[in-house]
Amino acid sequence: MSLWGWPWRTSTGASGFGRSSTAEEVTEGIDAHDFTAIVTGATNGIGKETARVLALRGAEVIIPSRTIESGLRVKESLLEQNPSAKLHVMEMDLSSLDSVETFARSFISTNKRLNILIDNAGIMACPFQLSRDGIEMQFATNHLGHFLLTKLLLEKMKSTAKETGVQGRIINVSSSAHRRGYELPFSLDKLNDKSSYKRFTAYGQSKLANILHANELSRKLQEEGSNVTANSLHPGLIQTNITRFLQGAATTCYLAINPKVKDATGKYYVNCNEENPLPEAKDNDLANKLWVFSEELLRKGGK
């Protein structure tokens, strides 16, 4: 029984894993020593657990952080658990296009390979505010910052996959809350309209954008024959605080390094198994419109 009085759901899907599976379980026995991963939002919560488990399996993990100091505190706490972990902290604020660009440029200058990009960071249901670039904050942070980051690192991922022969994986952490965001306003006037702003709807819109982004990116990568995949996920409903991060990070870690998902792309996962998102999330025309709109926002920001 859970602490709340109802039984755990232990059923598993086609993957062999399910709602009660942990991040360590879905990566057990996998050697990730040759992989380099970037995990946004790895300074706390599910992102931190994702970084911990990937490092536990041997991956070199880059931790972007708004401040170096906060990132170093996380690194130290992870090293206490795993002294051999390969962790690097770099400064980045996802809500700032300039900061994202600086991070990407700095990472590329290290000449490190990049096998895995996990777009995990996000903010949820905050009061209305605009980013430094004049964009509604949830959309700016949860979608546009990741859109730019992925765009800037994509050639590095393609070249890494080509050099190593190992498939690159891009993972967007979305949410079941994307079902609240079906009225995506692809215009800056609507996006930034404070009078009509609803914080949970705006959050849902940004999470729907995560899925649409992954799907359109997947389509483009397949068209050009790149050995890089792109998928999205809902991290799962967590029943207790005891294992919440272990279980919440399970699907992300599964998609990041488990060989069972090789070649899977343009899909949406819940509890380590493919599921259907909101029908609008599978709309190719809508995905393309979002892509064009995002590119327009980047041009307005000088990117």
Rounded distance between C-alpha atoms, residue 41 and residue 135, angstroms: 20
Q: Respond yes or no: is residue 197 known to be catalytic.
A: yes
Cα 176 to Cα 29, 58, 115, 163: the distances in Å are 30, 31, 27, 36
> Is residue 139 within 8 Å of residue 205, measured between CB atoms?
yes
Report the side by side order of strands in the sheet with 36-39: 86-91, 60-65, 36-39, 116-119, 168-173, 228-234, 268-270, 273-275
Annotated catalytic residue: which of 182, 197, 254, 269?
197
Q: How many CA atoms lie within 13 A of 135 on its CB side?
A: 25
d(CA 286, CA 284): 5
Distance CA 181, CA 201 (A): 6
Residue 150 CB partners (closer than 8 Å, separation 6+): 117, 119, 170, 213, 217
Token pair for residue 86?
A: 């390969």
Query: In whole angstroms, what is the distance from residue 277 CA to residue 263 CA?
Result: 20
Beta strands 116-119 and 86-91, pairing class: unpaired
CB within 8 Å of 241: residues ≥ 6 apart:
none
Please give the helix or strand (H or E) that residue 88 lies within, else none.
Answer: strand 86-91
DSSP state of 20: T
Tokens at 21, concatenated: 């599976």
DSSP 233: E
- DSSP single-letter state for residue 166: P
Active site residues: 197
